[in-house]
Chains A and B, each alone.
Chain A
Amino acid sequence: MNLGQIAFYVLGATAIASGIGVIAFRNAVYSALSLILNLFCLALFFLMLNAIFLAAIQVLVYAGAIMVLFLFVVTMLTPEGGDAATVDRLGAMQRTAAIGLGIILAGAFGYILISQVRLSPSAMATGANDLFTVMNRDGNTEAFGLALFHGYLLPFEVTSVILVAAILGAVVLGRRTTSGSGLSAGSGLSAGSGPSAGSGPSAREE
């Protein structure tokens, strides 16, 4: 067992543990932090798999942008003084059913992926793009860039359209709460501050 393998197992265990943390923590802030750890583990996996550019993007976009936004919203929506958890009011039966389903799903995936799958060598020929040849010739990030701006230009451009749609959507939803009807905007703005927290979620009393 060499160093690389040990690193792999440690990383894998951390990834799964932090994944469980995301859904197990009662406090949404801890869930978010757990997710950040998980995303870091994945970035390291990407590095192991020679995808240097994507590993960097993973850290920048996910940990740097998405999760910061998440943490911001989590803290904003949490009543001051209260614990950050919205207590899960869920019947024991539903919870057991969901966890049971999860175990079955995990077992099925695990069985198939560990024992059944041998990636077929002919599948490699299908793609007709030998990544490693280009990678060794031009370099890692260059290979990615070449593909992105030649064969895969259209998906890349469509992504930009999706981002435009998202920005437009966020503007619509955001502008409404400030310029919309006075009543809902007013009560909404005070939702994050002290006074309204007392009359707030009844969930915390349970």
Chain B
Amino acid sequence: MAFTYTITAGDWGHIAPQLTLLGVALLVMVIDTMLPARLRGGLVIIALLGVLSAAASALLVAQLGGAPSAFFGMITSDGLAIFSMLVILGATALALLIAPGYIERQGIHQQGEYYALVLLAATGMLLMSTASNLMMIFLGLELLSLPLYVLCAFVPGQQIAQESGMKYFLLSSFASGFLLYGMALVYGATGATGLTQIHAFVASHMPLDSSLAPLLLVGVVLIVVGLAFKVSAIPFHAWTPDVYQGAPTPVTALMSVGTKTAALVALARILVVALGPITSQWQPLLIALAILTMLGGNLLAATQTNVKRMLAYSSIAHAGYLLIGIAVGTNLGLAAMIFYLAAYGIMNIGAFGVVQVIERSVGFGTELDRFRGLGARQPWLAGAMTVFLLALAGIPGTVGFVAKYAVFSAAVLASHPELTIVGVIASMISFYYYLRIIWAMYFELNPEGDPATQGARAALGAQGTPPLMVESSGQSAVIAAKSVSMRQPIALGAMLSLGLAVLATIILGILPGPLFELARQAVGLP
């Protein structure tokens, strides 16, 4: 078959969302060269339309149904694939919306390249989450990583951004090496790279005999190590805070959600779907990872004073809750995990969106001090941040609570109550640092200015352009930032993005039923 398989039009139809996104990425690059500099801000609209049409084509693929896999079993378009594609595309759209204001303030001239790279990274995420072959998982991972390395180092003349890019690059390639070696060993043990063939082989060789077990299990451990790095699970998290802090905030937002989604779905496909027959062999490893990540992430987050870094550690902690969904090894766990991913995408991008408005230059100006008195200065912004933080903490009435409830109950139903207990304890630790930001916003005075006069002018609007918006060079951005008033303007796109995220957080928190039903259907549960 490998030598005679014929590609048909139907195969290409299966990857319509990826093709759409890729096409728009190339289109953005071409149009960028033809537009005069002052019109380049409009590129974000093309990029957004591309993301929307990719989402539409994903729904179309789901509607048409047909064969579950295409291209000789390289790509699947099952429910899990469709659901995770929609999560990734939603995250990409929200991250694109908060980008224009940021780009303008940081003095990034290369807008076309920025949007093209974001779309290429999103294409990689889609490929990785729909891959049903080890090759495609690896290629998707690389396609999402390469643009992200560049995006991390995107802001010109900023040391912190360059360091962030280089750290991410070196450690990520290191992890790719482990992932690849794991894939090689699994291939050697089973003779196949397709996940369905691996599943068939493992299922027919139960229990594992001593000639097969070492090779396969070492391979699985190495794959888990490689992907655990990508989802920033402890102890493979060391890069996360530095990279998240140094990268442009819209990129951090995309990275924290998109990369996690793609890597977790790929991990779930490898472990739960392909290696389901040997669940008992890999389960202890995943449980240990999940427990370490939940506790460690929250404890480390509690010690931070920079809100952007705190959110980085909080995203590590959330990786722990997400890993529960895989660790329990059931379909219900998977459903809970992808529901959690959707919820996490909304609230986390929202939180980073607020940080993006507050941030002065890359990685700086997001200290907790800057949030003091925000409730008086910019009540709407503070209100949105409060909603996101409460959701991240898992307060009832928000989508974060429902997501945590789904994951924890899946753990109990799979008779792993220890995961639930640790998860609840970890959530309690997390209340401390989320509430500390809220406390600072409403009950502490702003040390840098008189909140009374600032507060009088406080309104949501983006009226009036502060010096920062005019300054465009990277060099002067830092100097200009010092003279800017404490009240930051909110660009239209960011306002839209934050508004959508707040609405989704609250509505899905009150009415989670339909989305959770979709998540259940996506993994084939009745």
Contact = CB atoms under 8 A, between A and B. Distances in A.
A166 B29 CA distance: 14
Contact of B146 (A112, A128, A155, A166): A166
B110 A175 contact: yes
A173 B29 contact: no
Interface in A111-138: 112, 116-120, 122-129, 134
B513 interface: no
Contacts of A120: 189, 191, 205, 211-212
Interface in B104-161: 110, 113, 116-117, 120, 123-124, 127, 133, 135-136, 139-140, 142-143, 146-147, 149-150, 153-154, 156-157
A150 B473 contact: no
B2 A147 contact: yes
A: interface residue count bin: 35 or more
A127 B136 CA distance: 16
Interface residues of B, number: 58
Contacts of A197: none
B188 interface: yes
Given A116-B214, A143-B3, A154-B75, A126 B200 contact: yes
Nearest to B12: A154
A204 interface: no
A74 to B, nearest CB: 16
Interface in B174-219: 188-192, 197, 200-201, 204-205, 210-212, 214-215, 218
Contacts of B432: none
Nearest to B142: A162
A173 B150 contact: yes
A106 to B, nearest CB: 13
Contacts, number: 144
Nearest to A128: B1
A199 interface: no
A168 interface: yes
A116 B146 contact: no
Interface string B1-12: 111111100010
Contact of A165 (B4, B11, B117): B117
A24 interface: no
A172 interface: yes
A118 B22 CA distance: 43
Interface in A169-199: 169, 171-173, 175-176, 180-184
- The secondary structure that dominates the B interface is helix
Contacts of B139: 155, 158-159, 162
A154 B74 contact: yes
Nearest to A137: B3
B201 A172 contact: no
A151 interface: yes
A87 interface: no
A154 B138 CA distance: 13
Of A122, A153, A154, most B-chain CB atoms within 10 Å: A154
A146 interface: yes
Contacts of A150: 2-7, 72
A8 interface: no
A171 B124 CA distance: 20
A152 interface: yes
A172 B127 contact: no
B473 A152 contact: no
A168 B113 contact: yes
Contacts of B190: 123, 126
A152 B191 CA distance: 16
Interface string B429-454: 00000000000000000000000000
Contact of B201 (A122, A151, A176): A122
Contacts of A184: 156-157, 475
B136 A181 contact: no
A39 B120 CA distance: 31
Of A143, A162, A165, most B-chain CB atoms within 10 Å: A165
A126 B215 contact: no
Nearest to B11: A154
B191 A181 contact: no
Interface in B1-59: 1-7, 11, 15, 22, 26, 29
A109 to B, nearest CB: 8
B211 A118 contact: yes
B282 interface: no
B474 interface: yes
Contacts of A134: 3
A161 B3 contact: no
B5 A181 contact: no
A162 B146 contact: yes
A98 to B, nearest CB: 13
Interface in B386-445: none
B364 interface: no
B380 interface: no
A180 B2 contact: no
B71 interface: yes
B150 to A, nearest CB: 4
B72 A169 contact: no
A158 B74 CA distance: 11
A158 B138 CA distance: 11
Nearest to B144: A165
A169 B150 contact: yes
A180 B157 contact: yes
Interface in B58-76: 71-72, 74-75
B113 A180 contact: no
B147 A165 contact: yes
A169 B147 contact: yes
Contact of A176 (B7, B127, B143, B156): B156
Contacts of B71: 153-154
B3 A173 contact: no
Given A147-B2, A154-B136, A168-B120, A126 B197 contact: yes
Interface string A90-118: 00000000000000000001001000111
A173 B153 contact: yes
A151 B192 contact: no
21 contacts: A112-B218, A120-B211, A126-B190, A127-B2, A134-B3, A146-B3, A151-B3, A151-B5, A152-B74, A153-B7, A154-B11, A154-B15, A154-B75, A158-B136, A158-B143, A161-B120, A165-B143, A169-B146, A169-B150, A180-B474, A181-B157
Interface of B: 1-7, 11, 15, 22, 26, 29, 71-72, 74-75, 110, 113, 116-117, 120, 123-124, 127, 133, 135-136, 139-140, 142-143, 146-147, 149-150, 153-154, 156-157, 188-192, 197, 200-201, 204-205, 210-212, 214-215, 218, 473-475
